[in-house]
Amino acid sequence: MKTKITLIIAFLFLGLNTSFAQASNEDCTINMSLLAETVKGKKFTEALQYYNKAIKDCPKFNLSGLYKYGEDMFEGLLKEATTDAKKVEYINELTGLWDSRMANYASKSPKGKFEAKKAELRYDYRELLGLTDEQIYNEFDAIYTSDLKNFKSPKGLYVYFKMMVSLYDKGQKTPQELFNKYDDVVDKIETEVEKNSVKLNEYIAKGDNLSSKDEKYKKFYSQTLTAFEKISGSVEAELGDRANCSVLIPIYQRDYEANKDNGVWLQRAMNKLYSKGCKEDPMFVKIVKQKNTLEPNADTAWYLYVITGEQKYFDQSLSLQTDPLKKSRLYYKLAGEFKSKGSYGKAREYYYKSMELNPANTTGYLQVASMYASSVKSCGTTNFEKRSIYWLAEREAAKANKSTASKYGALAPTKQDIFSAGMSGKTIKIGCWIGRSVTVPTI
C-alpha cells in the first residue's frame, strides 16, 4: 500500500513539474512574440521590458529570437539615447547580451566573432567609455590570440592594426612589432579572401540558374570580399611610409643573421620589400636568394624573375604553384609589373588570365579600365574617338564596380556630342595597344 501511495505521489509530482515547464515554455513564447513585435515596430523602449524578462527567465529558449531582436533593440536604443549615461548603459547591456549568448549557445557563438563585436562597439564609443588605444589593442589582441579562426571581421582586423600603428607612433611599440602585426593581419585577410573566393567561385560556376538561397549566398560572399578589399587598402594606408625602404632595409640588415634560417621571416621580408618598392636593393636580392636556397617555392621563383627578368623563373613559378587562386595572384602581380612599365597590352593579357583562374576577384577589370582611361590622349585620332575610349573603360569597370563605371561614362561624349558628330549608332575601331571596337549609343 505504501508503495502504491509513493508511486501516486511521484506521478503527481512529475505531472506538476511538467505542467510548470509547459507554462514556463508558454510564457517564454508569449514574451518572445511581444519582444519581436515591438522591436519590428521600432518601439525599442517598450521592448526593453520583454527583453529583460526573456534574458532572465528564458536565456536558452530561442537563439534567433532573443539575441537577434535584443541586438536590434539595443542598437536602436543607442541611436535614440540623448544622454551619455544612457548610452553607456545600453553599451554595457549590449555587450552583456553577447556574453549571455556565448555562455548559453557556445557552439553557435564563437568568441572570435562575438568578442570582436564587443571590441568594435567599445572602439566606436571609446571616447565616451574613456578607453585608451592600448586597452582597445589589448582587447583585439586577446581575440587574435585565443580564437584567430573565428576572428573574421574586416572592421575588427582593421581597428586591431590601426591601434598598433597608434601605439607605434607613441613609441609604445617597436618597428619590428609593427611589421610583425602588419604581416599577421595581412596573412589573416588573405586567408579569409581565399576562403570566400573559393565559395563565390562555386556559385559563379553555376551560372545564372541559381535558387533564391544560392543568390543570397553569392551576394554574401561577394559583399564579404568587397569589404576585405577595402580593409586591405586601409591597412596599407595605415602602414604608409612607416615601412619605406629607408626604414625596412636597416632592420632587415640588422636581423638577417639571426633569421637567415627562418623561412617565415624570409618570406615576410621578401614580400614587404617587394610591396614597398625595394626590389632594386641588394638586401632584397640577398633575402630572395637565401629563401630560394632554404625553401624554394613559387614566390621565390617569382621574385627571381623580378630580379633577373629571365622567363625561366616565371615559368618555374607557375609550375611550382598548383593552387589556382595563388596562381591567379602571380598573374595579377605580373600584370602589375607590365602596367608599371607602360606595357598595357601585356598587362591586360595577364589581368584577364588572373581573373580566369579566380573569377571572384574582379579588380583586374578596374585595372584594365584605368589603363584605357589613361590612354585617351594617346589613342584615337579625333577628339570624339579619343573620348569614346571612356565607353570602353566604362564597359570594363561595370564588370566590377558600377560607381566607377558611371564616372568613366560621364567623361564619354554626350548626346549633344554624338548628334553634332553624326555618330549615333556607329562603330569606332580604336587602334593603338587597345585594339578594340566601341559602338556609339543610338540617340
Rounded to an integer, what distance in angstroms lies between the CA atom of residue 228 and that of residue 380? 37
Q: pLDDT at position 15, please?
A: 39
- Backbone φ and ψ of 323, nearest 5°: -75, 120
Helix or strand holding residue 193 (H, E): helix 175-205
Asked if residues 321 and 327 have their Cβ atoms less than 8 Å apart, the reply is yes
Q: Could you give the percent of the chain with pLDDT greater than 70?
A: 95
The segment with the largest mean pLDDT, out of 21-30, 79-88, 205-214, is 79-88
Query: Which pLDDT band holds residue 25 (cuts at 50, 70, 90)?
Result: confident
Q: pLDDT at position 285, please?
A: 94
Least confident of 7-11, 124-128, 191-195, 389-393: 7-11
Q: Which residue has the higher pLDDT, 40 or 12?
A: 40
Give the three cell numbers for residue 393: 573603360
Asked if residues 127 and 164 have their Cβ atoms less than 8 Å apart, the reply is no
Alpha-carbon distances, residue 109 vs 53, 92, 101, 150, 258 (angstroms): 22, 18, 7, 10, 42
Q: pLDDT at position 1, please?
A: 46
Cβ-defined contacts of 193-202 (< 8 Å, 24+): 193/225, 193/228, 193/229, 193/232, 194/325, 196/221, 196/224, 196/225, 196/228, 196/360, 197/225, 197/325, 197/358, 197/360, 197/361, 198/325, 200/225, 200/359, 200/360, 201/358, 201/359, 201/360
Q: Is the pLDDT of residue 9 over 80?
A: no
Model pLDDT for residues 238-267, shown as the tens digit of each residue: 999 899 999 999 999 999 999 999 999 999
Rg of the Cα trace of the chain?
29
Q: Is the pLDDT of residue 371 over 90?
A: yes
Average pLDDT score, the chain: 91
Model pLDDT for residues 404-421, shown as the tens digit of each residue: 999 999 999 999 999 999
Q: pLDDT at position 33, please?
A: 93
Q: Is the pLDDT of residue 23 over 50?
A: no
Q: Which residue has the higher pLDDT, 340 or 61?
A: 340
Q: pLDDT at position 22, please?
A: 35
Q: Is the pLDDT of residue 90 over 80?
A: yes
Write down the pTM of the prediction. Answer: 0.83
Least confident of 133-142, 152-161, 309-318, 408-417: 309-318
Q: Is the pLDDT of residue 11 over 70?
A: no
Q: Is the pLDDT of residue 85 over 80?
A: yes
Cα 440 from chain centre:
37
Q: pLDDT at position 325, please?
A: 94
